[in-house]
Amino acid sequence: MSFRYIGSKARLVEAIAEHIGTPAKNDGMFIDAFCGTGAVAESAAKLGWDIWVNDHLISAGIMAAARLTGQEQAQFKHFGGYDQIVSLLNELKPVQGFIWREYSPASAGMVGIERRYFTEENAGRIDAIRGQINTWKEFDALTDIEEQLLIADLLSAANRVANIAGTYGCFLSKWTSQANGKLVLTPRELKQKSVRVRVTSDDVTNIQAETNDLVYLDPPYTKRQYAAYYHILETISLYDEPEVQGVSGLRPWQEKASDFCYRRRALHSLLDLIRGLNSRRILLSYSEEGHIAIDDLLNSLYQIGSVVPYSLMNVGRYRPNKTASNNNSTVGEYLFVIEKEVQLTSKEMVV
């Protein structure tokens, strides 16, 4: 598969879980405030936490929530079950919709630029499946959770056949063998027990945590803007038809430009964020390849509260493809456990 989410903590979840621990009786939620794929939220859910996933990208919230969906939340009563509805979607005929017009070679005739993100057939299948999910939702045949689960399955299927080198920042000029394969949705394994999950797509600065919540922060640490790199996933999720630009067909993304991706703003923004959070315990992931030097970060965090830094194992450096990642070394990942003195909110004082 040519898709790997930049900065995903999939390979570090076990090491991070040791610092999450199991929730005490009066603990609040585990807030994965920059959730991305939701890998860390999923491991917190396994430890027994109620979960709040947030990411300013809608597609990230959808991917993260889908990982936590329980069997009883996805019964698809009108369709005879999850496997049945996925089969119905896989049988749909391709439709010449927005993804076909903008992101397959049909774009040459439609908009004068030949884009090769998906074959015409796969782009048409994405249009057909996304449109059908939307119609079923409009007719109330799907619950919100069921709708999000199917969209997440469509995003995964699209990732498997996208003609890209890791992100949607650009497409490859030559077709890969995966891209020539047929787009097929596959039902995922659902959780046996449902988890209490809240999903938001806010800017992280709007998160209002309670004192007993455990907040996990995994901000971007390089100049790569997720809103631009994953623009097509966002368009499939939103099911809109934005005016896209340039050879890559970028949707307008500047509104979601992240402060953490600018070297000069990153440290300030992170410290402001941590100071503003009302929770007592905060876990922060950061990489030694990031804009902020680890020593500078640590020294600044000491001004806010007590901090214990942990060096997690070295993980493979993000590289757009397998050859490149084999050629290069690993990169150090850190986890900072921050404990703050906090004021109880008036609601908490009454309790």
44 belongs to the binding site for ligand SAM (CB under 6 A): no
55 belongs to the binding site for ligand SAM (CB under 6 A): yes
Cβ(36)–Cβ(55) under 8 Å? yes
Strands across the sheet with 214-217, in order?
Answer: 197-200, 50-54, 29-32, 214-217, 281-287, 330-339, 306-316
Structure tokens at 32: 């994965």
CB of 117 to ligand SAM, least distance (A): 20
Cβ(96)–Cβ(65) under 8 Å? no
- E strands within the chain? 29-32, 50-54, 197-200, 214-217, 281-287, 306-316, 330-339
Structure tokens at 205: 């600065």
| CA torsion, ordered 93, 137, 62, 177, to nearest 10 deg | 0
**Which one of 3, 34, 100, 253 is in contact with ligand SAM (CB under 6 A)?**
34
336 belongs to the binding site for ligand SAM (CB under 6 A): no
226 belongs to the binding site for ligand SAM (CB under 6 A): yes
- Name the segment binding ligand SAM (CB under 6 A); options: 37-45, 70-78, 117-125, 325-333: 37-45
36 belongs to the binding site for ligand SAM (CB under 6 A): yes
166 belongs to the binding site for ligand SAM (CB under 6 A): no
287 belongs to the binding site for ligand SAM (CB under 6 A): no
Cβ(58)–Cβ(253) under 8 Å? no
- Name the segment binding ligand SAM (CB under 6 A); options: 35-43, 84-92, 182-190, 237-245: 35-43
**Which one of 203, 224, 239, 345 is in contact with ligand SAM (CB under 6 A)?**
203
229 belongs to the binding site for ligand SAM (CB under 6 A): no
57 belongs to the binding site for ligand SAM (CB under 6 A): yes
Judging by DSSP bridges, how do beta strands 50-54 and 330-339 pair with one another? unpaired
Q: Is 91 exposed, middle or buried (0-12, 13-18, 19+ CB in 10 A)?
A: exposed
CB of 54 to ligand SAM, least distance (A): 6
**Which one of 119, 163, 258, 278 is in contact with ligand SAM (CB under 6 A)?**
258
Between 63 and 150, CB nearer to ligand SAM: 63
Contact set with ligand SAM (CB under 6 A): 5, 7-9, 34, 36-37, 39-40, 55-57, 60, 203-204, 218-220, 226, 258, 260
